[in-house]
Structure 1
Amino acid sequence: MNDRTENLLLALPGILLLGLAFFLPIAQMLLLSISGPEGPTLAHFVRFLSDPYYLNILWRTVRLSLLITVICALIGFPLAYIMTKVGPKLRLWLVVIVILPLMTSVVVRTFGWMVLLSRSGMIPEMLRDMGLVGRTFALMQTEAAIVIGMVQVLLPFMTLSILGVLTRIDGRLEEAARTMGCSFLQTIRTVVLPLALPGIVAGSLLCFTLSASSFVTPNLLGGTRIQVLAASIYKSVTATPDWPFAAAQAVILFVGILLVLVPYIKLTGAKHG
């Protein structure tokens, strides 16, 4: 038995598991999305792409996912950079603080935000007391509430992705830049940021894909008035129920995420492994 055959036999259980847990459900979803009373049809895709209501849901999903990803990067990069500059003990505690929310259910954290963002919650009341908003101001069932909740959920993924790259950067490169006359911000822009780009891209990929496919937090904080694509799929399955149309929406979401994954793999695969 040669090495190639032996490696294939060792990988066979994983390949079978991947096929049963991933490829088989995807194939069933694809078949369901084109099923019709009289045979295969693209009517479900045409219905989605020709209806302004569903196109608005798709655009809102993409727009909010991009906004959430950008905010996570703007917060996650400085936080990860600070974590690399503090002592080992403080860094450990900061990592624990970042990871700690992941140990709590997303549903529990979202209900906490519902309490804080409700009309009588602490955040709207604080803004009213400061005179920044009117008495009728509300955050619940708005896009802002979805962004706030999703940033809190996804920020650890961005921070830890960037932290893993920043810890491998030689500190002498920053010292050399400062010696050559660069200011702190110039050093960050010309040295640290380019070297941290793989971590930023990986964290952005995680945040975007998880945000685009998220259901619980957008549904609870946005309500029925502000729907994203995952909530629309759930509604098509439970309220109508229209399984082929729900499968078509799922395929559109799946293809949209692939359109983000493929360029990332092409751009970073050869360079960063």
Structure 2
Amino acid sequence: MTDRRETWLFLLPGLALLVLGFVLPITRMLVLSVQGPDGFTTDQFARFFQDGFYPSILWRTVYLSAIITAVCAVIGFPLSYIMARSGPRVRLWLVIMVILPLMTSVVVRTFGWMVLLGRNGLIASTLRDFDLVGRSFQLMHTETAILLGMVQVLLPFMVLSLLGVIVRLDPRLEEAARTMGCSFLQTMRMVVLPLAAPGLLAGSILVFTLSASSFVTPALLGGPRIEVLAGSIYKNVTQTLDWNFAAAQAVILFAGIALLLVPYLRLGRRAHG
């Protein structure tokens, strides 16, 4: 009995923090989304789906997040493998290089991308110097700009998730595969990648959810024409002060991400236990 009380005493601060920081805000958001002048209503959700504008924003949010996740996985897997198979000193410096951008504000990094991607930025100027694009070419306020900025922001989460798994893999498994006649690419595909799948799954979930809920980088790089759902929620909260509709959009975003992630998690659980 005493042990049980001590366990609850240790759990109570964490549970209280979880309730205050997560359960109560989510509950308040759910209440706001169905709250109307005359009580319970679903008008805010109907308003979202009546016009094609908001579903198109939701679709843009989902497919941009999926592309960002895929690009981070393609770049992050080889980088994580190189880091895992490097010596301790080299690995330390590579980890520092990956983590270092996280110590800089996302807004600062996004403004850096704005300088690079603008009409007179380094990328556009270089392409114009080689006569590859017209004089009015710029990457700012495009989906490509959002992809570049978000990949740079979220890549460390994918790399670190994969690194934690790959660094624990026994190198002798790769040596055995090479001894049995597998090429390097076959070893990566048949041995390393399946064993690193838990890290890839964790990194993909992190990158996708953070990308879908991000609004600073998409708002600055995409501009007002290319809007994502998190940016629409922010605008309704701060500009139009339509908190009920913003709450309904947040619920839809939350439900959409959950519908996509739950089957993904179940597939990963079946495949890897």
TM-score interval for Structure 1 and Structure 2 normalised by the shorter chain: over 0.9
Q: Which residue of 2 aligns with 1:124?
A: 124
Q: 156-165 vs 77-86, which deviates more?
A: 77-86
Q: What is the correspondence of 1:166-205 to structure 2 with a 5 Å cutoff?
A: 166-205=166-205
Q: 98-107 vs 83-92, which deviates more?
A: 83-92
AA partner of residue 129 (structure 1): D
Runs of 4+ residues over 4 Å off in structure 1: 267-273
d(CA) in 1 for partners of 2:236, 2:35: 15
Provide the TM-score with structure 2 as the length reference.
Answer: 0.96
C-alpha deviations, 1:203-255, integer Å up to 9, x for none?
01000000000011000001111100011011112222211000000111111
CA-CA distance at 1:8 after TM superposition: 2.3
AA partner of residue 234 (structure 2): Y
CA-CA distance at 1:265 after TM superposition: 4.3
Is the CA contact (8 Å cut-off) linking 2:114 and 2:221 kept in structure 1? yes
Provide the TM-score with structure 1 as the length reference.
Answer: 0.96
CA RMSD of aligned residues (A): 1.6
Q: Which residue of 2 aligns with 1:256?
A: 256
CA-CA distance at 1:128 after TM superposition: 1.6
Is the CA contact (8 Å cut-off) linking 2:77 and 2:162 kept in structure 1? yes
AA partner of residue 56 (structure 2): N
CA-CA distance at 1:269 after TM superposition: 5.5
Q: Which residue of 2 aligns with 1:8?
A: 8
Q: Which residue of 2 aligns with 1:239?
A: 239
Q: Which residue of 1 aligns with 2:140?
A: 140
Aligned residues: 273
Is the CA contact (8 Å cut-off) linking 2:140 and 2:222 kept in structure 1? yes
Is the CA contact (8 Å cut-off) linking 2:85 and 2:167 kept in structure 1? no
d(CA) in 2 for partners of 1:265, 1:145: 30
AA partner of residue 235 (structure 2): K
1:73 aligned onto 2:79 = no
CA-CA distance at 1:268 after TM superposition: 4.5
AA partner of residue 83 (structure 2): M
1:88 aligned onto 2:88 = yes
d(CA) in 2 for partners of 1:100, 1:10: 34
Structure 1 pair 3–266 and aligned structure 2 pair: CA distance change class (3 A): farther
C-alpha deviations, 1:85-113, integer Å up to 9, x for none?
22221111111100000000000000000
Runs of 5+ in structure 1 lacking a partner?
none
d(CA) in 2 for partners of 1:99, 1:44: 41
AA partner of residue 258 (structure 2): L
Is the CA contact (8 Å cut-off) linking 2:117 and 2:124 kept in structure 1? yes
CA-CA distance at 1:272 after TM superposition: 6.5
AA partner of residue 262 (structure 2): V
SS of 2:196 mapped into structure 1: helix
d(CA) in 2 for partners of 1:184, 1:164: 21
Runs of 5+ in structure 2 lacking a partner?
none
1:112 aligned onto 2:112 = yes
